[in-house]
């Protein structure tokens, strides 16, 4: 039988137990502007992608005539795109940071967490483009492959946002990594639940094209939040450091 559990390489008793995520912890984390911006941005991006997932049955069964089982296979397009983009983005982000660290050691400078978040600008642009493509291609009943490519592109952009968000937030608060991951998942799932409830009603009113164009506009607006973090990140960190020093 294969071993499904590996031995611990360190004695866990030698280290303090990590703090458990609580509502109070989430509120405290959200009071730090970069965490709030990144969490909301990630939620909006995921809500748009989830809206694509929700509309798949109606689009591909009713408009394109696919069977239920065939629609299930079509979910592989955004799913595999999300998987591949997540792995590639993580590796590229780590490679980029390693190069910056090497350059910083030679010049005596430091690498700030904001260098991770700059990749999100490309992520939001990509996912916005994919959502617009999916909305209008399916609205005008262009060949099914066109709409599927749009959904895959939207998934790629969202993956870039996810990976860079996690990397950035854990570098800002290494001791709160678990809480930050839980917070991001909570906010994203709330946004996805809201999208699942309202997207069909919006589609009935304005159609797939304008519905997903609106979601793409939200992605474009998220770029402004990324620019705020890049521009004011040092200020936010210094202000939080002063606040922590005053408490002690």
- Which domains does the chain carry? 34-99+111-239 (1.20.1250.20)
| Most confident option among 102-106, 144-148, 178-182 | 144-148
Tell me, what's the pLDDT at 18?
A: 62
CA 69 – CA 175 distance, rounded (Å): 45
* pLDDT per residue as tens digits for the range 191-204: 999 999 999 999 99
> Per-residue pLDDT averaged across 114-126, rounded?
92
* pLDDT per residue as tens digits for the range 49-78: 999 999 999 999 999 999 999 999 999 999
Query: Please, what is the average pLDDT of the chain?
Result: 88
Tell me, what's the pLDDT at 73?
A: 95
**Residue of 46, 51, 35, 65 whose CA lies nearest to 200:** 51
* The model's pTM: 0.86
**Per-residue confidence at 109, pLDDT binned at 50, 70, 90?**
confident
**Residue of 83, 78, 36 whose CA lies nearest to 56:** 78
Tell me, what's the pLDDT at 8?
A: 65
Whether residue 174 is predicted with pLDDT greater than 90 in this model: the reply is no
Tell me, what's the pLDDT at 88?
A: 95
Cβ contacts of 200 within 8 Å, gap of 6 or more: 54, 55, 58
């Amino acid at each position: 039988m294969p071993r499904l559990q590996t031995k611990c390489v360190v004695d866990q008793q030698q280290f303090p137990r990590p703090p458990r995520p609580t509502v109070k912890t989430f509120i405290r984390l959200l009071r730090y502007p970069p965490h709030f911006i990144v969490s909301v941005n990630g939620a909006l991006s995921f809500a748009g992608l989830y809206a694509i997932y929700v509309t798949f049955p109606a689009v591909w069964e009713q408009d394109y005539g696919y069977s239920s089982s065939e629609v299930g296979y079509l979910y592989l397009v955004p799913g595999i795109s999300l998987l591949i983009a997540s792995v590639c983005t993580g590796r590229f982000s780590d490679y980029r940071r390693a190069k910056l660290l090497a350059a910083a050691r030679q010049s005596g400078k430091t690498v700030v967490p904001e260098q991770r978040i700059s990749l999100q600008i490309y992520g939001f642009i990509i996912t916005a483009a994919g959502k617009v493509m999916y909305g209008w291609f399916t609205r005008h009943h262009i060949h099914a492959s066109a709409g599927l490519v749009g959904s895959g592109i939207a998934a790629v952009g969202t993956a870039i946002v996810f990976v860079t968000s996690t990397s950035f937030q854990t570098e800002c608060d290494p001791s709160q990594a678990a809480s930050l991951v839980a917070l991001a998942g909570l906010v994203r799932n709330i946004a996805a639940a809201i999208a699942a409830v309202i997207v069909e009603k919006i589609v009935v009113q304005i159609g797939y094209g304008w519905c997903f164009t609106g979601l793409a506009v939200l992605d474009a607006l998220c770029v402004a939040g990324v620019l705020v973090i890049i521009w004011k990140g040092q200020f936010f960190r210094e202000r939080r450091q002063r606040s922590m020093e005053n408490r002690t």
